[in-house]
Chains A and B, each alone.
Chain A
């Protein structure tokens, strides 16, 4: 059973203790995560790297509060997120977590500023005020001049920057990114990551990125390597073989 009743809060920004996750695979139980323990401190850019199927997406989904673990405890800035009711957990995500997806998942029929304003609008902020704030965030990401354009009028790098603006506009304390550079060329990917590092990393915020793009490994403060549902390396660099 998941829960943090018997786990003391150690003060880490993200605290993951004994996390396992099983999936049903045609009647058989498939264990994808095997008792993961992990603490992440604020102010760091943390990478989760590993091969496909290593469990990194499952782990980040659990940390982000969108996938219940089979067992274990997840605390995000002191909150035992899986002890919250469904509704409270959704509200927690809305106020505390920012998401950046591999395929951006922007709404194609509203402009960049409105896309970036979605979390604020979902929180109930007036649409014009939310769009103004989103516009300011787009300015910080150097695409303020693209604010009125629809996603299909933007390049991949620009769309990812809009997605970053959407993830940061409500000033979340945790930002989770899934392969943010996978759909971008090397130059755009590098530029997006530079911006993300500049804008997202703050002393009171954690940023966790799932990636296997080795071109951006040098930007990480910490790199966790996953294999077969376990963290096999924890350091500031990826072991040579992984590179």
Chain B
């Protein structure tokens, strides 16, 4: 009977394609929007993710995220270094500045100052140039966003000159990092250079990046640093989560994406519900005849479930495939989508949504079939 049910469904191509499209579109919308949402809020922590070797981020007690910072006095570095269990600690600066581009335009940038001697804080992968070139005076590295936003496509940025706070900076490398939440251009330079590039106040140190000594957990180190220095310390994981939470709590992004996801669900219900109901209406006499002949309600339920299940499976597969392709192609071709990926939880969540759509619409359709009396076929 399942074979008959499937043939009933696939034989009516218009409605079959309509149903598959409804589910696929719904899946695409839900998966794609959830993926963008998750990746976007994760960008609230890209600075943390881009530096993998650090166990603990130390900051002023009022600092909250990688971008919501209150600078500390330079003595904070020595305070942290003096805490037992610290393997090493280096200064790290993040500040906003305006850069004048080679064609005279002005662009807001984030300047990241990394430790002069160890270069800890510099992302590990380079697209162009080598890490040691950062030792050359007045050198800056740009990220991928800077590559596209500060320079025309046909211009090689390596060797280009920029102007920051009346200081000359020369681009000698491009680093491979995920963009920040605001997709602002990020310039990497040595800490001592950064102090010159950023308009100054007395305190300039944004973070102290620390590594736990062998045998000391990051959590334990956080506790020691906070109790001994009065500064705020966060493990890498917790600080990344702080950045994500900040975006969730302080922007309308969750609501906006949430609305689109709900819309995807509603559109799915509407398209699939309507088409499925039309399909059942068109086949109600056949279902009635089957009931008269002696197909019991259990088998009828199985038939409708098989029809709904098939549509759900194909539509879901196509939808997830399209969403994944969208994200993959977007990530490969646009710097805005760089680093985007689809976490496995999202297709699973979408599957639950699709199952709900299929269950709701299938149940509505089934009700009509079950209510049809076999005697109706003689009327």
Residues of A within 8 A of B (CB): 57, 60-61, 64, 66-67, 87, 90-95, 97, 99, 101-103, 105-110, 114, 118-119, 121-122, 127, 166, 178, 210
Whether A66 touches B286, Cβ cut-off 8 Å, given contacts A94-B293, A122-B1, is: no
Listed from nearest, the 4 A-B pairs whose CB atoms lie closest are A109-B11, A94-B294, A105-B289, A93-B294
B378, CB-defined interface residue at 8 Å: yes
A64–B292 CB distance below 8 A:
yes
The A-contacting residues of B in range 255-296, CB under 8 angstroms, are: 283, 285-286, 288-296
Residue from the list B1, B11, B293, B379 in contact with A99, Cβ < 8 A: B293
B3, CB-defined interface residue at 8 Å: yes
B11–A122 CB distance below 8 A:
no
Whether A118 touches B378, Cβ cut-off 8 Å, given contacts A99-B292, A99-B293, is: no
A110–B293 CB distance below 8 A:
no
A121–B4 CB distance below 8 A:
yes
Among A60, A121, A122, max chain B CB count under 10 A is at: A122
Residues of B within 8 A of A (CB): 1, 3-4, 7-8, 10-12, 283, 285-286, 288-296, 299, 373-375, 377-379
Query: Chain A residues with Cβ under 8 A from B296's Cβ?
Result: 87, 90-91
Query: Chain B residues with Cβ under 8 A from A103's Cβ?
Result: 285
A67–B11 CB distance below 8 A:
no
Whether A122 touches B378, Cβ cut-off 8 Å, given contacts A66-B373, A105-B285, A109-B7, is: no
B375–A66 CB distance below 8 A:
yes
- A210 CA / B379 CA spacing, docked (Å): 12
With CB as the reference atom, state the residue of chain A lying closest to B286.
A107
- A67 CA / B374 CA spacing, docked (Å): 8
Query: Chain A residues with Cβ under 8 A from B3's Cβ?
Result: 121, 127
Query: Chain B residues with Cβ under 8 A from A64's Cβ?
Result: 292
B12–A93 CB distance below 8 A:
no
- A91 CA / B1 CA spacing, docked (Å): 15
Task: Known A-B contacts: A95-B294, A109-B8, A127-B3. Give 8 more (CB < 8 A).
Answer: A67-B374, A90-B296, A93-B293, A94-B293, A99-B292, A105-B377, A109-B10, A166-B293
- A57 CA / B289 CA spacing, docked (Å): 15
- A197 CA / B32 CA spacing, docked (Å): 63
Residue from the list A60, A105, A109, A114 in contact with B12, Cβ < 8 A: A109
B375–A122 CB distance below 8 A:
no
Whether A107 touches B8, Cβ cut-off 8 Å, given contacts A66-B374, A122-B1, is: yes
Residue from the list A97, A110, A210 in contact with B7, Cβ < 8 A: A110
Residue from the list B12, B295, B375 in contact with A67, Cβ < 8 A: B375
Query: Chain B residues with Cβ under 8 A from A121's Cβ?
Result: 1, 3-4
B295–A122 CB distance below 8 A:
yes
- A83 CA / B153 CA spacing, docked (Å): 85
Among A64, A102, A109, max chain B CB count under 10 A is at: A109
Query: Chain B residues with Cβ under 8 A from A114's Cβ?
Result: 4, 7
Query: Chain B residues with Cβ under 8 A from A102's Cβ?
Result: 378
- A91 CA / B285 CA spacing, docked (Å): 20
With CB as the reference atom, state the residue of chain B lying closest to A108.
B11
B7–A122 CB distance below 8 A:
no
B294–A90 CB distance below 8 A:
yes
25 pairs from A and B in contact (CB 8 Å cutoff): A57-B378, A60-B378, A61-B375, A61-B378, A67-B373, A67-B375, A90-B291, A93-B292, A95-B294, A97-B294, A99-B289, A101-B377, A102-B378, A103-B285, A105-B288, A105-B377, A106-B286, A109-B7, A109-B10, A109-B12, A110-B8, A118-B290, A121-B4, A122-B295, A127-B3
